[in-house]
């Protein structure tokens, strides 16, 4: 069976499975410490679709009980941000007076996570914590600092571990850089 990691449109691997899992464990430890002993379980909200893989691994490594929900927002078309955030599917839980933890796979421009942070505050969250596996600080277009992150990554188009190119490569177990000179080989 041929591995997706060897696809010609994958230029290089930025983070291996081992690298990723070490960072997931580190972030899980930090969040466990933050929420240990709280009266109410925090509500972890995975940002669909990309944040689900990270959120699932993260939650399995935590030793505190949490509530879990999803939100689906769109802000990208192809390989570029539209600059607008649109809710496709909203959370199903009442967030009033709850500690909300937004989990996504990557923060780049910062627009979506900043928008989500404000959105959940307007829904009455007691607090909002932001978490991402990858932080692409060099791509920021708004002033935003993620509270917890695993890896700082370069301003390259990344795929794998939830990150995708038009829904391709999302299931790669690594984080890889796309070779746009060979992007037409993706089918």
Q: Is residue 181 part of a domain?
A: no
Q: Is residue 161 part of a domain?
A: no
At residue 79 the predicted structure's pLDDT band, cuts being 50, 70 and 90, is: low
Q: What is the CA 109 to chain-centroid distance, rounded?
A: 13
Judge whether 108 counts as a catalytic residue: yes
Q: Is residue 125 part of a domain?
A: yes
Is the bond leading into 49 cis (omega within 30 degrees of zero)? yes
Give the pairing of strands 80-89 and 67-77: antiparallel
Domain count, the chain: 1
Q: Is residue 73 part of a domain?
A: yes
What CATH number has the domain bearing residue 90? Answer: 3.40.50.2020
Active-site pick, 57, 99, 108, 135:
108
Structural domain boundaries, residue 37: 16-154
**pTM of the shown model:** 0.90
How far apart are alpha carbons 100 and 163 in whole angstroms?
A: 23
pLDDT tens-digit series, residues 81-131 = 566 888 999 999 999 999 999 999 999 989 999 999 999 999 999 999 999
């Amino acid at each position: 069976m041929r591995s997706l990691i060897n696809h010609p449109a994958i230029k290089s691997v930025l983070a291996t499975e081992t690298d990723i899992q070490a960072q997931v464990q580190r972030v899980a430890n930090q969040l466990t410490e933050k929420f240990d002993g709280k009266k109410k379980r925090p509500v972890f909200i995975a940002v669909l679709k990309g944040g689900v893989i990270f959120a699932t691994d993260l939650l399995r490594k935590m030793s505190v009980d949490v509530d879990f929900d999803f939100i689906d927002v769109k802000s990208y078309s192809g390989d570029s941000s539209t600059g607008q955030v649109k809710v496709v599917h909203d959370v199903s839980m009442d967030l009033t007076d709850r500690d909300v933890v937004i989990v996504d796979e990557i923060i780049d421009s910062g627009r979506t996570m900043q928008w989500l942070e404000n959105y959940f505050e307007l829904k009455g969250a007691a607090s909002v914590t932001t978490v991402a596996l990858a932080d692409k600080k060099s791509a920021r277009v708004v002033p935003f600092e993620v509270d917890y992150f695993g890896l700082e990554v370069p301003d390259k188009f990344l795929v794998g571990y939830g990150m995708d190119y038009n829904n391709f490569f999302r299931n790669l177990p690594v984080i890889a850089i796309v070779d746009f000179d060979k992007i037409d080989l993706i089918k």
